[in-house]
């Protein structure tokens, strides 16, 4: 048995792959104060659902795959270790100056954010390495020893080291690491050239500081996870989901916890790519994962999940850039638990504040008094109060009605139903804008791409989103309510390695480039030997960071082969760059020279179980729903909407809106004018149509 868990802000999702390779899906409420408690609760629900005890369930487990936002939340709430930053003498303001930039360049009333590590915990190290790797001045070891004593006095709990051009020559950083290990035993530290060997000092420094600050907490957290799972009977392998769209051993992740920032959302495009291919035979899709707290949007373009080094923790420019390569996911505060309110100017707002799991939406009956998107869906009749989470949780329709009446419909002088529709429409527009931002910026016309809706709240307004985008088709997978956990089921054990070497297309240094590529390949082979036990197959893909001469930013380009031996391979690389640049920016310049500044390799090892796909095991005891339910739709008023059970739909069966397709984990609203068909995989393929 294998288990894949994704801990969200409201619910903890669990996919269980049984010994026969069949999948089962379960949910439990997330416990904010103790996320591991939510994991154990979800496993307990699974044990009951499968008719066995929790200990028996875990005792049969061979692999536990965990996606968590714990690292991200720690940074957002400043619940990290007291971290020191060691930098080159004369450059103490790297974290303060950043790369410039403001959300509004002309609004000087907004102060610049505080650096991730304050100046009071920043120390300058004597010594200097040049850009070509030569030593201009030796490391001042006496200064390092003196700084270590000062850090001890300041009760520093972690140390980040980022020196100028350590990516060209790491000797000074390595020596500082030796001195830290000798004089501050037990205090974790991060060396920038090991963690993130890339250009641009701020990004390398920021990633190093974030990583170091998370080490004490995440080491303890992952150790606690392993201990508590073992106490319940689990003796298998524990893997964690990384922000790079793969998984890695929990121990390795604890040593480099920056891999866990944005851990959960990176899996949605992995499963989205699978469903786009299986159900719609396309390699381009927009994946939208609607949780209780956030709406996460990502892309699949020509079968590839795009990456970015500009991931922000918090809002762009006011938060902290990780500077670390990760799956490109845009998140906005719009989910099923997003709060609706009327501001002082009389304008309706939805999000980014969320009710979370406690107290939750007003309809949960846990003390929440403010309306949410979920409350609006209950009032409109789109959610069945008696069948939420398959009937495991009853919703209070009257509480939802009172909350909307008091906070929205009353101030706006609308009927409760009109106010609920307005909440849904505004949430839809917030989500559409997030999709437009990520798709148009990467050269994708959303009107030509299918939309894949995931997350427990996806079905509430995905048809409206698809209509707004003019998408030809909307796909709601049967496992969509746990889309990220489903992605973890089919994800690979993976790692990215990279190295820096500058060269140009008109003066290409074949020997130096091939030495770098050989070193990267050796790192991949070592990873396979040390980490990929139990894996029956693996792949290694090489890539380069390139730009037109004198451009500021690079793009990632796949290499045609593992080495660049002659003119044919070089020409193929150049053509790939031109084509990729044109796809992203609608411009190519075949006559221009190309600069390549970095090289990398990604190794992926298959660690999947016996599951042949992502189709849930069919259940024979599915309760029959009522034939129809009164529901309210904007422009139509109250109508009789047909009600179906997701699990009972037959492959090829066609539906016509207005209709409601319910399961124990989600409800899909098929608005008037839309049509749907059940795919063989279990997915619901919807033509949005027009109202």
Q: Do 69 and 101 have their domain in common? A: no
pLDDT of residue 623: 60
In-domain check, residue 61? yes
Domain end: 606, 641, 661, which one? 606
Q: Do 163 and 199 have their domain in common? A: yes
The total of other beta-carbon atoms located within 10 Å of residue 652's CB is 9
| 440-455 pLDDT tens trace | 877 788 888 999 999 8
Q: Do 96 and 200 have their domain in common? A: yes
pLDDT of residue 610: 57
Three-state SS annotation for 358-375: CCCCHHHCCCCCCCEHHH
Q: Are 543 and 558 in contact (CB under 8 A)?
A: yes
Tokens of 347: 């304008």
pLDDT of residue 586: 87
Q: Are 371 and 408 in contact (CB under 8 A)?
A: yes
Q: Do 137 and 204 have their domain in common? A: yes
Taking the C-alpha atoms of residue 239 and residue 418, their distance in angstroms, rounded to an integer, is 47
Q: What pTM was estimated for this model as a whole?
A: 0.88
In-domain check, residue 520? yes
Q: Do 191 and 84 have their domain in common? A: yes
Domain end: 264, 292, 327, which one? 264
In-domain check, residue 642? no
Q: Do 118 and 191 have their domain in common? A: yes
Q: Do 535 and 496 have their domain in common? A: yes
Instruction: Check which CATH number belongs to the domain holding 62 and give it.
Output: 3.30.420.40
Q: Are 222 and 254 in contact (CB under 8 A)?
A: yes
| Domain total of the chain | 3
pLDDT of residue 319: 86
The domain in which residue 535 lies consists of 492-606
Domain end: 606, 637, 654, which one? 606
Cα–Cα distances (Å) from 113 to 95, 103, 136, 621, in that order, read: 10, 12, 34, 56
Contacts of 185 (CB under 8 A, 6+ apart): none
Distance of alpha carbon 522 from the chain centroid: 29
Helix, coil or strand: residue 452:
strand
What are the residues facing 87 on neighbouring strands?
A: 124, 162
| 416-442 pLDDT tens trace | 999 999 999 999 999 999 899 888 877
Taking the C-alpha atoms of residue 258 and residue 264, their distance in angstroms, rounded to an integer, is 13
Instruction: Check which CATH number belongs to the domain holding 138 and give it.
Output: 3.40.50
Burial of 101 (0-12, 13-18, 19+ CB in 10 A): exposed
In-domain check, residue 179? yes
Tokens of 38: 């939510």
Q: Do 137 and 187 have their domain in common? A: yes
In-domain check, residue 102? yes
pLDDT of residue 380: 96
In-domain check, residue 126? yes
Q: Do 576 and 591 have their domain in common? A: yes
In-domain check, residue 352? no
Q: Do 183 and 222 have their domain in common? A: no
Q: Are 632 and 421 in contact (CB under 8 A)?
A: yes
Taking the C-alpha atoms of residue 479 and residue 472, their distance in angstroms, rounded to an integer, is 22
Tokens of 608: 């999947």
Q: Do 111 and 204 have their domain in common? A: yes
The kind and range of the H/E element at 438 are helix 416-440
pLDDT under 50 in the chain at which residues? 620
Contacts of 565 (CB under 8 A, 6+ apart): 510, 514
Three-state SS annotation for 128-194: EECCCCCEEECCCHHHHHHHHHHHHHCCCCEEEEECCCCCCCCHHHHHHHHHHHHHCCCCCEEEHHH
Distance of alpha carbon 299 from the chain centroid: 12
In-domain check, residue 413? no
What is the helix, strand, coil percentage profile of the chain, to 5?
35, 25, 40
Q: Do 520 and 572 have their domain in common? A: yes
Instruction: Check which CATH number belongs to the domain holding 535 and give it.
Output: 3.30.1490
Cα–Cα distances (Å) from 680 to 278, 502, 526, 660, in that order, read: 9, 50, 41, 20
């Amino acid at each position: 048995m294998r288990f894949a868990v994704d801990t969200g802000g409201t619910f903890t999702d669990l996919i269980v792959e049984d010994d026969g390779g069949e999948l089962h899906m379960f949910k439990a409420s997330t416990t904010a104060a103790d996320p591991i408690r939510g994991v154990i609760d979800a496993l307990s629900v699974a044990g009951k659902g499968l008719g066995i005890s929790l200990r028996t369930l875990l005792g049969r487990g061979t692999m536990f795959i965990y996606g968590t936002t714990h690292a991200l939340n720690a940074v957002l709430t400043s619940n990290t270790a007291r971290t020191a930053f060691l930098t080159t003498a004369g450059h103490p303001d790297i974290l303060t100056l950043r790369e410039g930039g403001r959300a509004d360049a002309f609004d000087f009333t907004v102060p610049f954010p505080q650096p991730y590590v304050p100046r009071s915990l920043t120390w300058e190290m004597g010594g200097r390495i040049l850009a070509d790797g030569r030593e201009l001045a030796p490391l001042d070891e006496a200064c390092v020893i003196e700084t270590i004593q000062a850090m001890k006095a300041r009760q520093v709990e972690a140390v980040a080291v980022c020196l100028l051009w350590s990516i060209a020559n790491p000797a000074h950083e390595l020596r500082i690491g030796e001195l830290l290990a000798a004089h501050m035993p037990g205090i974790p530290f991060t060396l920038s050239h090991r963690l993130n060997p890339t250009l641009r000092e701020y990004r390398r420094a920021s990633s190093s500081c974030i990583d170091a600050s998370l080490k004490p907490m995440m080491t303890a957290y992952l150790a606690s996870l392993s201990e508590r799972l073992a106490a319940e009977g689990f003796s298998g392998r524990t893997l964690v989901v990384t922000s790079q769209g793969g998984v890695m051993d929990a121990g390795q992740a604890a040593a480099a916890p920056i891999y866990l920032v944005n851990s959960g959302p990176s899996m949605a495009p992995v499963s989205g790519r699978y469903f786009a291919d299986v159900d719609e035979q396309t390699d381009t899709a927009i994946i939208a994962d609607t949780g209780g707290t956030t709406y996460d949007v990502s892309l699949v373009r020509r079968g590839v999940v795009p990456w970015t080094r500009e991931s922000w923790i918090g809002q762009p420019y006011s938060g902290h850039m990780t500077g670390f390569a990760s799956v490109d996911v845009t998140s906005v505060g719009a989910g099923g638990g997003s709060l609706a309110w009327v501001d002082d100017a009389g304008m309706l707002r939805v999000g980014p504040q969320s009710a979370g799991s406690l107290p939750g939406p007003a309809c949960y009956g846990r003390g929440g008094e403010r309306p949410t998107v979920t409350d609006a869906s209950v009032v409109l009749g789109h959610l069945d109060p008696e069948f939420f989470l398959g009937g495991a949780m009853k919703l209070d329709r009257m509480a939802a009605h009172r909350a909307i009446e008091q906070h929205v419909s009353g101030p706006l002088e609308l009927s409760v139903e009109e106010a609920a529709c307005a909440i849904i429409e505004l949430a839809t527009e917030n989500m559409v804008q997030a999709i437009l931002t990520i798709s148009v910026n990467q050269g994708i016309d959303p009107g030509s791409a299918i939309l894949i809706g995931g997350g427990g709240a996806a079905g509430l307004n995905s048809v409206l989103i698809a209509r707004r985008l003019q998408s030809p088709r909307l796909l709601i997978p049967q496992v969509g309510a746990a889309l990220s956990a489903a992605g973890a089921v089919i994800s690979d054990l993976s790692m990215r390695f990279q190295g820096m070497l500058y060269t140009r297309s008109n003066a290409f240094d074949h020997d130096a480039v091939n030495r770098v590529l050989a070193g990267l390949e050796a790192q991949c082979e070592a990873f396979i030997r040390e980490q990929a036990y139990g894996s029956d197959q693996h792949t290694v893909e090489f890539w380069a960071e390139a730009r037109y001469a004198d451009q500021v930013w690079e793009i990632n380009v796949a290499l045609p082969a593992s080495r660049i031996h002659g003119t044919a391979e070089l020409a193929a690389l150049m053509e790939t760059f031109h084509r990729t640049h044109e796809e992203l920016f609608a411009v190519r310049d075949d006559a221009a020279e190309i600069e390549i500044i970095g090289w990398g390799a990604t190794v992926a090892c298959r660690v999947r179980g016996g599951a042949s796909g992502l189709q849930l095991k069919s259940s024979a005891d599915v309760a029959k729903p009522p034939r129809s339910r009164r529901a309210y739709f904007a422009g139509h008023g109250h109508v009789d909407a047909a009600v179906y059970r997701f699990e009972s739909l037959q492959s090829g069966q066609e539906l016509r809106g207005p209709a409601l397709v319910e399961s124990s984990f989600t409800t899909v609203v098929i608005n008037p004018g839309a049509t749907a068909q059940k795919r063989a995989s279990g997915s619901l393929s919807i033509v949005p149509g027009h109202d």
